[in-house]
Amino acid sequence: MRQRQLGGGERARSDRVGMHRLCENTVLESDTCNGARKAKRLVLVAVMAAVREKQGEEAWDALSESERKAESKVFIGDCHGHLRNIIIKAMGGAATKHLKEALEDDLAEFSSFDRMSVDCMDLIHAIFKQLHGGGEYAKGKGREFEAWRKVEFPGAMFVPFEKSGSSRMDLVFDGAVPIFMNRIIILEFLHTLVNVPGANNKLEKFLWTVLKCNEMTAVLRVCTLWQTLITNPMHWLTGKAST
């Protein structure tokens, strides 16, 4: 909550400080977990009690309903960004569940050592480890990929990969966009790694297998569309909450 600097005469006034100040067109905002919502309700009760005390019991009881509302403009709201993330997480989970059922027979052909997955987040993390230009993963080939791409596809549009080191719930959409846009270039590079004698890198095999899968390509496309058409505008609205 923003507070303006008080002048010299105002500093001496004790009524300028206190819970009652939160009744001046204030929104108590938090995420949507039960603990946060309970905390907002408790703060609201405390604010209303402070307003009543400041007005005086008799004066407050004498006010009409509309006058009380005018003296206690405090509201409860949910964080738009958190609501957006809840929607994204649910959609990502539903997509993974659908693919596990649709590709059950294909997945059964891989052993547990292959670490095969149809979770879009697993793909995003794997791309970050293997191909991100930052080189955070010592065994990754991000620098090699960047040098190869500039030689083989010098004029092609390339969307930078998202970092996946955090636990952002919206990463399942944001991280899918560059993978979908760069898919053909990625596969061309992986072809030089996996289709050679003696190749036995589990991470590269995982990426090669998943990015050739039509169903996974469809999921990446859907995530890209949702990120562009729905969640980006929602993210913009979150930043404009004050207006």
Q: Tell me phi and psi for residue 77, to 5 degrees.
A: -140, 160
* Residue 1 pLDDT level (bands cut at 50, 70, 90): very low
**DSSP state, 22?**
G
Most confident of 26-35, 87-96, 176-185: 176-185
pLDDT on residue 5 = 44
Chain segment 185-213, per-residue pLDDT in tens: 999 999 999 988 888 889 999 999 999 99
pTM: 0.74
Portion of the chain with pLDDT greater than 90, in percent:
35
Burial annotation 101-137 (CB, 10 A radius, 16+ → b, else e):
eeeeeeeeeeeeeeebbbbbbbbbbbbbbbbbeeeee
> Mind listing the pLDDT tens digit for each residue in 44-76?
888 888 888 887 888 878 888 788 778 788 888
Q: How far apart are CA 4 and CA 96, in angstroms?
A: 49
